[in-house]
Structure 1
Amino acid sequence: MANNETDRVALVAFKAAIVQDLFGALTSWNHSLHYCHWKGILCSRRHPDRVIQLTLRSQGLVGLLSPHIGNLSFFNSIDLQNNSFHGPIPQELGRLFRLQTIEFNNNSFRGTIPPFIGNLSSLFQISLSHCNLHGEIPEEIARLRGLSLVQLSENNLSGKVPFGLYNISTILFLSLTVNQLEGNIPHDIGSTLPNLKFLNCMNNLFTGTIPTSLSNASKLQEILISINYFSGTMPKDLGKLPGLTAIGVYQNRLQDDLTFISPLTNCTSLQIIDAGDNLFRGSLPDSIANLSTYLSWMNLHINQTHGSIPSGIGNLLNLTQLSMVANNLAGPVPSSIGRLHNLQSLLLAQNKFTELPSSLGNLTSLITLDLGENNIYGNIPPSLGNCHSLLELHLYKNNFNGSIPPEIMSLSSISTFLTLDHNALTGSLPSEVECLKNLGYMDVSYNRLSGPIPNMLSNCFSLEWLHMQANSFEGEIPQSLSMLRGLRLLDLSRNNNCRD
């Protein structure tokens, strides 16, 4: 195999700029082996001594990217993702007119995205996410008419996105999330980017309205624009996107009713609706029952919705998270919710719900149940004792009465929070409390509980916070509580019959 001195010298210079090689990736880079056989190097078949690819992903490399890399004139791909390269991206890279892919995600480069990027006429993939870059996206990027993937997420980029970037019709994937970019998304983006599949500009400073033309990008699968300053209403024709799998508009300033949900029933692959923390109003439409059976995540929390939850919610059999916290929903929690056997998180706090179905006990995959701050009355359903995966149970600030079901206290899975405070619970604390060996926080304050404080509490070895104030507990405080070495707070105030 012949040697090309230019390529060999360039690779030697690349290695010389590396100050740390944690996994020994460059051990094979020595004179006893032809450079085309060095780890991470691929040479051309047509020109056997010319390097065409450098792939050293996740190799623990620390150092500068040598400017000699610009002498590898046959280069078409460079992949240095997940390393610790620092310093600027060398401008010599702009000489590599054959370069098709740049993958530098997760490094520590400093400086800006260099304008020479516009010289790389063959480039179709640029990945510079999490690279510590700042400044504006250069206008020159619009020259790259064959771009299909643009990843610029998690940097400190600012200013407006070059208008020309939205006119590169070949773009399939555009990710700008977690920057400080501003301005509007063009109203005709769905027409100028007809092949777009993924749009992600979460966590920026974008304003204006959500373009209705998005429905023209018929291949669109994900629309993720959460944590911005979009206002106006939701497009009503997103149902024209049959392949749509995720829509995220969380934490914006959208003012609308929930009629945008009904057209989404045509999106048969939909998995995520994340529309929390907006100004949505109105009631949940019955059409929610006809949403995709693939739907796994629905978030509508912190809005102004009212009415009840339609019983058709029970049709969404693959739902794993349902959050409607901080709305004005009322009435009973529908018993059909017990059909959602895959549900792991049910968050309905800060509403006006009145009744709790015993069918909640069917949710054996449930990890978090939060029903705090409602108007729920009656007994706590003993069937909740069937939820053997439960880590958190919040029933605080309701109108529950009767005794605490022993089945609840038998849930040894509960390890983070058990909050039953501010209700009207009566009776004694069940002896089954000893099963909560991994529980860190328990609050049963502001109830009407009575009887002695059970010795068995000493078996709750992980307790750090124990609130039992404002009840009618009586008798001596068990000395065994001193065994709870991790206890930070024990509040037994306003229990007039307790004594030490």
Structure 2
Amino acid sequence: MSYLAFTFILLMISFKTPFMRCQNVSCNSTDLGALIRFSNFIEWGLDWSGSESNCCTWTGVTCDNSTISSKRVVRLELGAKKLVGKLSESLADLDQLRILNVSHNLLGGYLPGKLFGLQKLEILDLSNNYFVGPIPGRSDLPLIRYVDISKNNFNGTLYATIFETSPHIQVLNLANNYFTGEVSASFGSCYYLQHLFLDGNDLTGNFPESLLQLRDLHTLNIQDNLFLGSLNEGISNLSNLVKLDVSFNRFSGILPDVFENLGKLEHFSARSNMFYGHLPKSLVNSPSIITLDLSSNALSGIININCSAMLHLSSLSLGANQFCGPVPESISSCQRLSNLNLGRNNLSGEVPYAFKDLQALASLSLSNSSLVNISSALAILQHCKNLTSLFLGDNFHDEQMPRNMNLHFRNLKTLVIPHCGLKGQFPIWLGSSKMLQLLDISRNQMTGTIPSGFHEFKFLFYMDLSHNSFTGEIPVSLTELEGLIKKNVSEERPSLGFPLFKARNMYKQISSFRPTLDLSYNKLSGLIWPSFGNLKELHVLNLKDNHLSGNIPDSLSGMTNLEVLDLSQNELSGEIPLSLEKLSFLAIFSVAYNQLHGEIPRGGQFLTFPSSSFEGNKGLFSDNVTPRQPQPADEEMTIIGLQFGFGAVTGFLFTVGFCFLSGWVFRK
């Protein structure tokens, strides 16, 4: 007998005895009854019916091996099971329970108070549900270490005794609820707390003094609340902090110069507050900081980041402040910098030549900074080989768009240069940027034709060339963009740590941009190609205010995801195709001020479009009555009969019911 075979036999013998014993031992009768009563409160998603009486074999139930006669339930893990219903107070009878996880379900109602009396409970995860009401006022959880009730509908103040009777708690996540009032002083009793999440509530008052006693705190997230006043200098006591986020509040005053005491701090965000003054010396010399976001405040002075000290800095966002002076050349020494946002400040001058050394740089925003010399800027930044997102809008006013074929941005995915008044022609050097996904060169003064060859851009899903003076026909290759033909053909869209510049006073994240082709307000002529109907993933097609002629192709009905179709102020003729009634997602439609004739379609979304969508076409009419005349813009063509109303209500109820039962219900 070989050594391997002998080992296998020994393993089989060692496993056989406990397996036989488990077959003969059932779960504790009290625990069994508690679970049965719990299941009675679950209306959907829990399939314990028909199971044997040994609850230790049920889905999500784990028992211990502490007794021979019966086993005790120690873990109930039913996360992401699409459960619908409420929590029964019978769970309190599971007095040996250590882990309770019912996260990511559709559970609702109030929490039973007895649930907070489980003496052995160590982990409680109720996150991502629809629970309501306050946290039970009395609790006795002496062994609890982890509590996550985030992303629910809890409300009330944070004065529950869970903070006083649970000294060993290490993780407390109360984020994304509706808690109000000031943070309770009882938080100071959680001496071992390491991770605290209070973000996404309606908490008020100054920076909570009680939190300054938590010397072991590693993570403190209090962003997206209503806190005000200055940032307490006492944060210097939190020497173990790794992440501090106070963004999206109403804090004001000068940032405290205490960061030399926060030697472990790696991530600090104070975005969207009302801080003013200069950058603290201890902050711009912090050797531990990796990400720093102070955007959307009123900070001023020069940007004096010390890259010699900030060796680990990878993300720096100082946009939308009042910093002045030239773009600091010293930032080029931050060799690990991958995300840099200096846009919307009072900067000036040119992009420093030394920026070519930022080889790790992936995202750069210098929008609205009064920069000059776009040719030099592009010639320098092309050396940043990892650059994928570039935002230079509202700079270089009235300069010439370079046509240098030697410019190469081979990894560029996002290029945004609007509102510059740039002259010249379409930048043909973009032909080497085959990874391009989003292009915005709108609101310039560019002329000439739009080049062909767009079929080579497999990932392009958004292009805005509006408000220029482009002429000639629409390139047929725009109807061959794979990113707008096939779903999921594009690569993962760039994730930014800052909002990009889309238009004056309007900021968005890339993920919020709908697949778009915007060629409006140009001088384009010729036909609307029937092959536009191939763009099944296109959401917005705007061809307004050009010189397009010919008929509206029937095939446009193939753009099944289209939400906006604007063909107004052209020279189109013929009738509105009835096939457009199939565009069930179409919310905005206009063919105003063309040369169309015939009856306006009456089906689908056409019931909802206002009269202004059709005005300026003398030959258009509705319901076989007199030809349509121009109407006031606010008059709506609403034709909703009894059959339509009955069908709409029935369809709505069916859809809601189906989504609810299938678990496809979205959170608030």
- TM-score over 0.5 for the pair: yes
- Give the Cα separation in 2 of the matches to 1:499 and 1:411: 34
In 1, are the aligned partners of 2:159 and 2:186 still within 8 Å (CA)? no
Residue 241 of structure 1 is matched in structure 2 by 262
Given the alignment of the two structures, is residue 369 of structure 1 paired with residue 417 of structure 2, yes or no? Answer: no
CA apart distance, 1:409? 4.6
Amino acid at match of 2:545: D
Q: 1:141 to 1:275 in 2, by over 3 A?
A: same
SS in 1 for 2:257: coil
In 1, are the aligned partners of 2:26 and 2:56 still within 8 Å (CA)? no
2:346 maps to which of 328, 337, 357: 328
Given the alignment of the two structures, is residue 35 of structure 1 paired with residue 59 of structure 2, yes or no? Answer: no
Given the alignment of the two structures, is residue 173 of structure 1 paired with residue 221 of structure 2, yes or no? Answer: no
Amino acid at match of 2:31: D
Residue 518 of structure 2 is matched in structure 1 by 465
- Give the Cα separation in 2 of the matches to 1:458 and 1:7: 65
Residue 219 of structure 1 is matched in structure 2 by 240
> What is the RMSD of the two structures over their aligned residues, measured on CA atoms?
3.0
In 2, are the aligned partners of 1:395 and 1:421 still within 8 Å (CA)? no
In 1, are the aligned partners of 2:314 and 2:339 still within 8 Å (CA)? yes
CA apart distance, 1:455? 4.9
SS in 1 for 2:33: helix
Per-residue displacement from partner, 1:68-114 (whole Å, max 9, x unpaired)?
A: 11111122221222122211111121332222221111111122111
SS in 2 for 1:230: strand
Per-residue displacement from partner, 1:343-368 (whole Å, max 9, x unpaired)?
A: 33222111111131512113344333
**Residues 437-452 of structure 1 aligned to structure 2 (within 5 Å):** 438=460, 440-443=462-465, 445-446=467-468, 452=472
Residue 7 of structure 2 is matched in structure 1 by none
**Residues 391-406 of structure 1 aligned to structure 2 (within 5 Å):** 391-398=413-420, 400-406=422-428
- Give the Cα separation in 2 of the matches to 1:348 and 1:236: 27
Given the alignment of the two structures, is residue 19 of structure 1 paired with residue 39 of structure 2, yes or no? Answer: no
Given the alignment of the two structures, is residue 479 of structure 1 paired with residue 527 of structure 2, yes or no? Answer: yes
Given the alignment of the two structures, is residue 74 of structure 1 paired with residue 96 of structure 2, yes or no? Answer: yes
Residue 491 of structure 1 is matched in structure 2 by 545
In 1, are the aligned partners of 2:164 and 2:189 still within 8 Å (CA)? no
- Give the Cα separation in 1 of the matches to 2:130 and 2:354: 51
Per-residue displacement from partner, 1:271-314 (whole Å, max 9, x unpaired)?
A: 21111111111110051454233x33221111111112222322
Q: 1:187 to 1:61 in 2, by over 3 A?
A: closer
Amino acid at match of 1:489: L
1:251 maps to which of 236, 252, 272: 272
In 1, are the aligned partners of 2:284 and 2:305 still within 8 Å (CA)? no
Residue 44 of structure 1 is matched in structure 2 by 64
**Residues 70-219 of structure 1 aligned to structure 2 (within 5 Å):** 70-117=92-139, 119-144=140-165, 145-187=167-209, 189-190=211-212, 192-219=213-240
In 1, are the aligned partners of 2:349 and 2:371 still within 8 Å (CA)? yes
SS in 1 for 2:181: strand
CA apart distance, 1:264? 4.5
In 2, are the aligned partners of 1:455 and 1:480 still within 8 Å (CA)? no
SS in 1 for 2:382: helix
**Residues 361-440 of structure 1 aligned to structure 2 (within 5 Å):** 361-375=382-396, 377=399, 379-380=401-402, 382=404, 385-398=407-420, 400-409=422-431, 411-419=433-441, 421-423=443-445, 425=446, 429-431=450-452, 435=456, 438=460, 440=462
Q: 1:439 to 1:45 in 2, by over 3 A?
A: closer
CA apart distance, 1:223? 0.4
TM-score (norm 1): 0.86
Identity %: 24
- Give the Cα separation in 1 of the matches to 2:408 and 2:49: 57
Amino acid at match of 1:346: L
Q: 1:161 to 1:434 in 2, by over 3 A?
A: same
Show structure 2 runs of 5+ residues with no match.
Answer: 1-24, 485-515, 536-540, 548-569, 573-668
Q: 1:398 to 1:35 in 2, by over 3 A?
A: same
Q: 1:81 to 1:264 in 2, by over 3 A?
A: farther
TM-score (norm 2): 0.66
Q: 1:287 to 1:77 in 2, by over 3 A?
A: same
Q: 1:37 to 1:331 in 2, by over 3 A?
A: same
- Give the Cα separation in 2 of the matches to 1:264 and 1:240: 14
SS in 2 for 1:464: strand
Per-residue displacement from partner, 1:155-191 (whole Å, max 9, x unpaired)?
A: 111111111213422211110010101112245743x
Q: Which has the higher contact order (CA 8 A, sep 6+)?
A: 1
SS in 1 for 2:316: strand
Q: Which moved more, 1:397-406 or 1:84-93?
A: 397-406
In 2, are the aligned partners of 1:29 and 1:39 still within 8 Å (CA)? no
- Give the Cα separation in 1 of the matches to 2:177 and 2:208: 22
Q: 1:29 to 1:321 in 2, by over 3 A?
A: farther
Q: 1:101 to 1:455 in 2, by over 3 A?
A: closer
In 1, are the aligned partners of 2:154 and 2:179 still within 8 Å (CA)? yes
CA apart distance, 1:10? 0.7
Q: 1:480 to 1:71 in 2, by over 3 A?
A: closer
Given the alignment of the two structures, is residue 272 of structure 1 paired with residue 298 of structure 2, yes or no? Answer: no
- Give the Cα separation in 2 of the matches to 1:110 and 1:499: 57
SS in 2 for 1:491: coil
In 2, are the aligned partners of 1:455 and 1:478 still within 8 Å (CA)? no
Amino acid at match of 2:235: L
- Give the Cα separation in 1 of the matches to 2:116 and 2:467: 67
SS in 2 for 1:106: coil
Amino acid at match of 1:388: R
Per-residue displacement from partner, 1:320-351 (whole Å, max 9, x unpaired)?
A: 32222211111111233233334332221111
- Give the Cα separation in 1 of the matches to 2:296 and 2:341: 11
- Give the Cα separation in 2 of the matches to 1:358 and 1:86: 58
SS in 1 for 2:91: helix
Q: 1:3 to 1:242 in 2, by over 3 A?
A: same
